[in-house]
């Protein structure tokens, strides 16, 4: 009888930890530093990054009838002696680029 109780307790513990892990993963936000570094890595292939900025606190953006927690930022890149400025909006939960435009 004690063994059966032990198995039930272990199974309940595993189920609770898996549920907690999925809830935490769903609510995880990328840090602004992670987002900026990913953007720099994406844009540096075509030129040298000479400047960047990012808002450190996410804001709410409504787009296509959905609300997103987003970071806004910008990068300045130099290629062949030409300077190009970009602004971006990235989903803080998924890390997906929602907007990227040349300024």
CB atoms within 10 A of CB 41: 10
Looking at the structure, do residues 18 and 38 belong to the same domain, yes or no? no
Do the beta carbons of residue 98 and residue 63 sit within 8 Å?
Answer: yes
Domain residue limits at 23: 1-28
Q: What share of the chain is helix, strand, coil (3-state, %, to 5)?
A: 40, 40, 20
In total, how many domains does the chain have? 2
Residue 12, SS3 per DSSP = helix
Handedness of CA 101, 40, 54, 77 (dihedral sign): negative
Q: Against a cut of 0.85, is the pTM above it?
A: no
Same domain, 74 and 91: yes
* pLDDT tens per residue across span 42-57: 988 888 999 999 999 9
For residue range 74-88, what is the model confidence (pLDDT) as tens digits?
999 998 889 999 999
The residue that leads in pLDDT, 78 or 17, is 78
Q: Do 9 and 54 sit in the same domain of this protein?
A: no
Q: Give the CA diameter of the chain.
A: 78
Judge if 41 and 56 occupy the same domain. Answer: yes
Distance of alpha carbon 20 from its chain centroid, rounded? 20
Coil vs helix vs strand at 71: strand
Tell me, yes or no, whether 50 and 92 share the same domain.
yes
Residues 36 and 9 both lie in one domain: no
């Amino acid at each position: 009888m004690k063994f059966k109780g032990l198995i039930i307790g272990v199974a309940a513990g595993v189920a609770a930890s898996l549920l907690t892990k999925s809830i935490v993963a769903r609510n995880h936000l990328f840090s602004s530093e992670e987002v900026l570094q990913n953007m720099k890595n994406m844009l540096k292939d075509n030129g040298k990054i000479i400047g960047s900025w990012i808002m450190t606190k996410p804001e709410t953006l409504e787009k296509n009838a959905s609300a997103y927690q987003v970071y806004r930022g910008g990068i300045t890149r130099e290629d062949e002696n030409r300077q190009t400025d970009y602004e971006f909006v990235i989903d803080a939960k998924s890390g997906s680029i929602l907007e990227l435009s040349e300024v």
